[in-house]
Structure 1
Amino acid sequence: MVTVERVLPGRVRVEVLVVGARDGAVHYRPVDGELPAGAHPDATATALAASLVNARPVAVPDGLGGAQCDGPQPVWAPPPLTMLHSTSWRYAAGAVVLTYVAVFDGAPPPGATVLGPHGIAHSGDPAAPSPPYVCADAVAAHAMRHVAWLRGADEVAATALARLPGLWRALDGYVPAPAGGFAPAGPVSAHRPG
């Protein structure tokens, strides 16, 4: 078995976009951290995503003090992780960044940002695939296009997302695309030189 450390020498960061929907729009909040030596990126992504959810205020039954923010309380339970999916990787600030999307109960995490429309980030040079800079919204938009694609191409992902009708509807605003899509700088001709 090949380990991540052998494939990706040097610094590796795991970035998780915790997403949810409100008022028909996708909201996201990134959280990231170094990949510890010997750790699997999926486990690191799960822990990072949970760190945001553990800070989420939750309602508790009357007479028990209102909202609790520092779980686990006796009546506190975080929402279950509905989906965790790796959506992309990039090289930034001297590290390989592995990006995941995490979905819990479909509600945006605290401090989430509304994701507006954003095109595919590209360098403009078909021989140089990495743009000089990729903003957070571009990474999140790419992830949502991929999740929208999974909704139609992956039965397990579709079943999980179907339980979250608000997020399901918000994904209608994204053109489905598999990970690793390439965006040429100009129009693509259907004519092949012959």
Structure 2
Amino acid sequence: MKLQVSVLSAAIATVSLVSAGLFSGSALAQQQQQTQQQSRGYAAYNYVGAAVADHDGGDSILLEGSYEFKSPYFVSGYYRNFDNDFGSSNDVIAAKLGRYFWLSQGLTADAGLRMGHVDFGQNDTGFWGVEANLRQRIEQFEFYGGLGWVDYFDAGSDNQYQLGVNYYINSDVSVGVGYQDSEFGDGVRLRGSYHF
């Protein structure tokens, strides 16, 4: 009887050790997969890109980028050079600190504080503002829309919006089209981005 109890105890201990080993191996693989995803970050908030826009009163070239420095927090910024229909050129530089939230499968929201400096021709002014966006990823397509409010120190305030779609050619490259209200008015925007 003692021999049977000893054998049964040894069998239970062996099964427990094997189960614990399998479970910890599975948990370790899951943890490594999550770590890899976190180290790469969410592609929508890790990119560099360029765009051209056709505004009501001219055209602009835009250089932009974003970096998720500590998930889910990110910093983004852009430089826009605007050539108006009257032959002069204006520019703006801005940065944003934001946070995104996973709402459901493929759906995220982000909110942030933006600040920068804009040249309106006769007036140069700093500004600050807030904005919020929604993004829905469906396979290779990402649909987005957002609202913002900007206070120009020497030029009043403005409500701004954007909407559009990006197509991910692969995990690193996307192209897109959108409609946006910016510092220099409404405009259709074509963009290309490299994601990392």
Question: Of Structure 1 and Structure 2, which has the larger fraction of its residues in helix?
Answer: 1
TM-score (norm 1): 0.31
Which of these two proteins has the greater Rg computed from alpha carbons? 2
Structure showing greater relative contact order (alpha-carbon pairs closer than 8 Å, 6 or more residues apart): 1
TM-score (norm 2): 0.30
